[in-house]
Amino acid sequence: MSTKVESARPTRFTAQHLRKEQDGRLYNDVQNDYALPADQEEAERLNSQHKALIILFGSLVPEPLKSSLLSQSSPRILDVGCGTGIWSLEVAQELPQARVTGVDLVSINPPNYPSNVKFEKRDILEDFPKGWEGSFDLVHARYLIAGIRDFSLLLSRLTRLLKPQGHLIIIEPRAQFYTNGADVRQVCPRTSRLIAVVQEAMDRLGIDPNPGKKVSAYLRENTEYQDVTAQTLDMPLSPRSDDPKLFQMGLAHLPNSLSLPGFPTIDSREKLVLPVWLIWATRK
């Protein structure tokens, strides 16, 4: 492992132990619940999505939590379902005193990464390694929508990992497009049919199209948590705005948008947005 912090870069997934499906794409070999591939094309999609999300939310870690982590000498951070590891790597650079662990169903091995980050191949729904319970100052889980069928179960497990006063961050999109403030199903008939197909597929796979809503309610009702903050912000799906920030976000998100089934044929796509939940809370 290198300590060349300045050149840390997210990586592709390690090709070992991936299985090839009939569609020619590579998938994890741990379980079948996670619906998306784990190959170079997917890595590029995730990295562009990360860039767009950082512009949307303005930071890797919301400010009150970042200050709390900065005040500690060696905070322990877990990135659940870390994908290419891009968030883990950037957080490890931004908080050099932190110790960051990224876990995913697939292995990753970035060429150069800071010595305060490590990656493990692991299913977060399986037994935790020794020493994990009650040991993390921050647990971050982003975009697990296509993998987790029961978010209440995930949250109860992540809660067990947090120290008292430890923080949880959950970021999840709502699988519904809007245009000019209106649900596209109401204003774009062609898109409406496309969305119906996508939602049917999600139903079949048991995927909740709006897990953020459940997560926010779960944390607010759970007496183990305090200071629950939940917000949704709109992610532009393509660079069609005179506003420089919206343009940059849409541009960063475009490779990801183009991978959405039928996106290139969507009508009114110039103003399409996807709401994204950012939720954080502190364990008592």
Please give the residues from 4 up to 63 whose contact with ligand SAM meets the rule CB under 6 A. 28, 34, 36, 46, 50
Give the integer Cα–Cα distance in Å for 215 and 143.
Answer: 13
Instruction: Tell me: does residue 144 bind ligand SAM (CB under 6 A).
Output: yes
Token representation of residue 100: 């960051």
# of chain residues touching ligand SAM (CB under 6 A): 22
Residue 260 binds to ligand SAM (criterion: CB under 6 A): no
Question: Euclidean distance between the first and final Cα of the chain, in Å?
Answer: 36
At closest approach, how far in Å is the CB of 52 from ligand SAM? 11
Q: Which of residues 79-98 bind ligand SAM (CB under 6 A)?
A: 81-83, 86-87
Residue 74 CB, nearest distance to ligand SAM (Å)? 23
Piece in contact with ligand SAM (CB under 6 A), picked from 91-99, 140-148, 191-199, 243-251: 140-148
37: left (phi over 0), alpha (psi -120 to 50) or beta: beta
Q: For residues 276 and 256, is the Cβ–Cβ distance under 8 A?
A: no
Closest CB 49 distance from ligand SAM, rounded Å: 6
Binding of residue 104 to ligand SAM (CB under 6 A): yes
| Position 143 contacts ligand SAM (CB under 6 A) | yes
Give the shortest CB-219-to-ligand SAM separation in angstroms: 19
Residue 171, strand partner residues: 142, 278
Q: How far is the CB of 79 from ligand SAM (least distance, A)?
A: 7
Q: In the complex with ligand SAM, which residue's Cβ is closer, 31 or 135?
A: 31
Residue 189 Cβ, how far from ligand SAM at the closest point, in Å?
29
Q: Taking a C-beta distance cutoff of 8 angstroms, is the pair 173, 270 a contact?
A: no
Of 26 and 194, the one with the shorter C-beta distance to ligand SAM is 26
Among 8, 103, 101, 86, CA closest to 47: 86
Long-range contacts of residues 67-70, Cβ cutoff 8 Å, at least 24 apart: 68/137, 68/165, 68/167, 69/95, 69/98, 69/137, 69/138, 69/167, 70/95
Q: Which two tokens stand for residue 74?
A: 């060696």
Q: How far apart are CA 34 and CA 37, in angstroms?
A: 8
Q: Is 173 in the site for ligand SAM (CB under 6 A)?
A: no
What is the rounded CA–CA span in Å between residue 88 and residue 99?
Answer: 10
The stretch among 117-125, 176-184, 199-207, 232-240 that binds ligand SAM (CB under 6 A) is 117-125
Residue of the chain from 105, 168, 169, 194 that contacts ligand SAM (CB under 6 A)? 105
Instruction: For tokens 């994204």, name the residue.
Output: 276
Count of other CB atoms within 10 angstroms of residue 167: 26
The residue among 84 and 116 lying less far from ligand SAM, judged by its C-beta, is 84
Nearest-approach distance from CB 182 to ligand SAM, in angstroms = 27
- CA–CA separation, 284 vs 126, rounded Å? 25
Using CB under 6 A, list all residues that contact ligand SAM: 28, 34, 36, 46, 50, 81-83, 86-87, 103-106, 123-125, 142-144, 146-147
